[in-house]
Each structure stands twice: as C-alpha cells, then as structure tokens.
Amino acid sequence: MASHGASTLDMNLNPAQAVDSLQKIYRKYTSRKFFAMLQACVHCGLCAEACHYYCSEKKSDFIPANRIKRLAAVINEYFHPLKSKLPFFTPGNPLTNPKFDGLYKAAFENCTLCGKCALICPMGINTGEIMYLARALLFGLGRIPSGLIGPVQTTLTTGNYLGLSGEDFIETVEWIAEEMAEDMGAGFTIPIDKEQPQVLYIPHPLTLRDLPFLLMSELKILAAAGEDYTLSTHDFDVVNYAFYQGSKENAFQIANTTLQAREKLQAKSIALAPCGHGYRILRWEVEKMLGEKHNFPIYSLVELIDRYIQDGRLKLEKDKFEGPITYHDPCNIARRGGIIQQPRNVIKALTSNFVEMEPYGVHNFCCGGGGGLASTADFGKIRATMGKAKAEQIRKTGAKIVVTGCFNCKTQIRDIGQNYDLGIEVKSIVEVVADSIR
Ligand code: SF4
Ligand code: SF4
C-alpha cells in the first residue's frame, strides 16, 4: 500500500475502520474557516511564485492551489454533504485508493507547511493549513513518513526523541561543565532542576549527544549574561515532530512535558534552544489547543540574547567573523512567530558587514527542510532540489557566512550549500554570539 517513502503506523485497520477514522479526524480538524478557504480559490495563480517548490522547479504539481485540489478530491469522495447521505453511494476503500497516494505526496513530500503562499493569496487561502488537514487524515490511515514515526514514538515513551536516559543527561551536562570550566573559571557549574529560576532552558537533545559545542555556546551565553536559569531532568527536548505527523494529540502530549517541567520547578519562564517548530508549537500552537494564553513567557533563546545586549548584560566584540554575513529567517520563528528584528539586532551587534536576502523576514523563502522533511532520509533528494530557491537567494547576497536560528534550517542550508557549491559556512546564531563574547 505504502509508496513514495510512506511508512505505516501499525494500525491494522480494515476498510470500514479506515473510513471511520477519516470521518472522526475530518469532524475534529475542520472549521468554517477551513471550508471557506477550500471554496475560495479564484485560480489567479499568484501563489505559484510564493512557493519555493515552484520557484525551484516549474511543475504544476508545485502550485499551491493544485495541492488543494488533491485534498478536495478526497473530501468530495468521503465527506460530500449530499453524496454521503445517499444509501447507494459507498466511498472507495481508503487503504487502496490511489487518491491518497497523490495526497501523501502533496502533503508530506511537496509542502513544508511554511505558510508563505498564504501571504500572497488575495482570497486569504492558507495552503499550509489545508495541507495540515491532509496530513491529519493520512495519519488517521497510518500513512506517514518513516522519519516521523520512530522519533515520535521514542519521545512518547522516553521523553526525548533520541531516547536518552536521565542518567545520560546528567552525565553529559557534568562533563560539559568540566569542559567549560577551563574557559569560564573553576567554580563554573550548570544548574539542573533548580527550583524557582527565572528561566527553564530546554535544549535540543542532539546537542547533548552529538553536538556539545552548540550546547556549550548556549550555556556560555546564559552564564555570561548572569541569567538565573536551570536545565531539567524533567524535560530536555525542544523537538516535537508529532505536530508534523498531523497529530495534534501527540504534539500536545509532548509539549505538555515541558509545561509540566516548568510547573514542577516553578520556573518564571521557558526559553527554548534554536528550533523553529519546537518554538512554534510550544509558544503558539499549544495556546490554540488549550484555548487559553500561557500565563508565563516562552522565549526562543534569540529573544533573550537580544534583550541581554540591549540591557548591557552581554557585550560582544565586533567583526570577529569576516563577512559578509546574512541571516536565514526560519519560517516558524519569523513568519509564524514574529521574531524578525531580534536576530538582526544581535547579528548587527557583532558584524558591520550584514547583508539581507531578498525577500527576507515574513516573506523569506523556506529553506526546503521544514515541515518534518529534514527528519526523513527518503526526502533527501527532494530537499536538495527544492533548496534551489534558497540557494539562489543566498548566492545573490555574496555572503560568506549564513547564520540561522533553527537546527533543521542549519542542516538543510549546509546541505544546499554543498549541493549548489555556494562556498558558505553555516552557523547557528548561538555560535556566532558565544564566539564574540568579550
Ligand atoms: S505552505 Fe509553503 S511549501 Fe506549502 S504550498 Fe505554501 S509556499 Fe509551498
Ligand atoms: S493565490 Fe489563492 S486564489 Fe490565487 S490560485 Fe493561489 S490559492 Fe487560488
């Protein structure tokens, strides 16, 4: 049944159960706004040039409006308000219906849910949101990419997507503290499970296992600014791939671990390691899921860094890095999170040779690694091809260094830098800041 790199959750549905599963998800995830969007397209074609897929390869499948048609065909067959009431009308078996092959490609492979096309559509159609319903329906059939199955299952059972134990975490942090003491001074420690701190800091687990220099950069910044922070054994994973599965239930369960960790420690705020989707989900999507606002602040670390610099808590040496330096706005941090000026303030504090990509900020192109595509090896080729629009943007800046504030964007831009021979270095914003601290 599965194709195009699709894997299956072990659901063992029969056709009737599969239809039932689709019906439940459809009822749960649709709204008046959604139906209005689905009907509103005037076929103007403006969304084509907004999408990095179409800009990278001029295929009609890559026009956002055409992705919507894939979903409309499924809705027409399974949820049509009149047809579904006719006794002689039976929808096809969704487990074998090729319409779902097309929908899988449109929703998981050919859309990163970046939201850029929504800004250009005169009818207010948000293809990313519409494709999210497509992902939810496919999740209901157990059809999701392999890279979005294992990591989520591991997170749901162990609390982090790499399956690190609490002992692994403590051992690594103690080792990092010893290493950092050489630079920071003999009394340097890293607080773990400290109660009532100003900031509960949630790292990316890959920095604990494979990339400790990144975590060291983050902790160096917090320490240099004199922040009252803690790490926690209750949660040390900013990642939340469940959202990209199309399962808000799984996403909430994972995000709730962070909320509970804050509650246990009575932290005044949460700060998140550079991770676009992790920030979006905890800061914005969870509020929508809960139907209420958080009564404490949630920051991406770059917001704190900007504040430290403005308040004189962090002093940076200028031009330690040879420019030109450009900044890639991660979609979930900038377009969907509103964090646009802060990283620019930070970078301009450490270089006099900053250049913008065109377009940038809310209108920036997705790097091609969003939407969970970076987590599935099967999507390597499509990521490389669809990174062309971003590669051209970068090339035009003449930048030697591309800075970004998201782990997946960093990986994807490093890959496209090699694929398109851009001759660039790609750095996390925490690296350039930590290395510029006076
Ligand atoms: S959300 Fe992004 S990737 Fe998806 S169709 Fe729109 S512009 Fe293209
Ligand atoms: S911009 Fe909006 S109205 Fe125009 S083709 Fe795209 S989705 Fe349809």
For residues 13 and 100, the answer to whether their CB atoms sit within 8 Å is no
CA 187, distance to chain mean position in Å, is 36
Determine, yes or no, domain membership for 125: yes
**Ligand 2 atom closest to the CA of 45, numbered from 1:** 5
Determine, yes or no, domain membership for 92: yes
Determine, yes or no, domain membership for 1: no
Query: Region 223-247: what's the mean pLDDT?
Result: 97
For residues 406 and 276, the answer to whether their CB atoms sit within 8 Å is yes
Domain boundary among 145, 172, 197: 145
Q: Which residues pair with 355 in a beta bridge?
A: 326
State the total domains in the chain: 3
* Domain co-membership, 162 together with 300: yes
* Domain co-membership, 120 together with 158: no
* Domain co-membership, 280 together with 410: no
Ligand 2 binding pocket, CB closer than 6 Å = 41-47, 64-65, 121, 123, 125
Q: What is the rounded distance in angstroms from the CA atom of residue 46 to the CA atom of residue 43?
A: 8
Write out the residue range of the structural domain in which residue 114 sits: 6-145
**Cβ atoms within 10 A of the Cβ of 188, count?**
16
Give me ligand 2 centre to Cα 340, in Å: 26
> What's the CATH code of the domain at 125?
1.10.1060
Give me ligand 2 centre to Cα 150, in Å: 36
Determine, yes or no, domain membership for 60: yes
**Cβ atoms within 10 A of the Cβ of 165, count?**
12
* Domain co-membership, 334 together with 427: yes
Q: Which residue has a Cα nearest atom 5 of ligand 1?
A: 64
Determine, yes or no, domain membership for 169: yes
For the stretch 395-412, pLDDT in tens is 999 999 999 999 999 999
Q: Check residue 8 and give its pLDDT.
A: 52
**Ligand 2 atom closest to the CA of 46, numbered from 1:** 1
Matching residue, tokens 């519409």: 130
* Domain co-membership, 103 together with 22: yes
* Domain co-membership, 425 together with 333: yes
**Ligand 1 atom closest to the CA of 366, numbered from 1:** 2
Percent pLDDT > 70 in the chain is 97
Cα-only R_g, the chain: 22
202: pLDDT strictly greater than 50: yes
* Domain co-membership, 164 together with 303: yes
Can you read off the two tokens belonging to residue 111? 């859309």
Domain boundary among 145, 160, 179: 145
Determine, yes or no, domain membership for 366: yes
Q: Cα–Cα distances in Å, from 243 out to 148, 271, 369, 381, 385?
A: 9, 20, 15, 23, 24
CA 64, distance to chain mean position in Å, is 20
* Domain co-membership, 24 together with 131: yes
* Domain co-membership, 120 together with 190: no
Can you read off the two tokens belonging to residue 119? 């800004």
Strands 143-145, 6-8: pairing kind: antiparallel
* Domain co-membership, 157 together with 301: yes
* Domain co-membership, 86 together with 118: yes
> What's the CATH code of the domain at 266?
3.40.50
How does the average pLDDT of the chain come out, rounded?
94
Which DSSP state fits 437? B
Query: Who's near 85: CB < 8 A, 6+ residues apart?
Result: none
Domain boundary among 121, 145, 169: 145
For the stretch 347-363, pLDDT in tens is 999 999 999 999 999 99
